[in-house]
Amino acid sequence: MHVDTHPLSKDFPEMSEALQRLRQTDAGFSRLVESYEVLDKRICRVEGGTENMDDLQLNALKQERVVMKDDIARQLRKALGNNRGG
Sign of CA dihedral 69, 70, 75, 80: positive
- Residue % of the chain over a pLDDT of 90: 80
> Which residues lie below 8 Å from residue 55, measured CB to CB, with a gap of 6+?
none
Whether residue 8 is contained in a domain is answered as no
Q: Is residue 3 part of a domain?
A: no
On whether residue 7 sits in a domain, the answer given is: no
Domain span at residue 25 reads: 13-79
Q: What is the pLDDT of residue 1?
A: 65
Residue 57 belongs to a domain = yes
pTM: 0.87
Q: Is 49 left (phi over 0), alpha (psi -120 to 50) or beta?
A: left
Is there a domain that residue 85 lies in?
no
For residue 82, name the pLDDT band (cuts at 50, 70, 90): low
pLDDT tens-digit series, residues 32-71 = 999 999 999 999 999 999 999 999 999 999 999 999 999 9
CA distance 28 to 55: 30
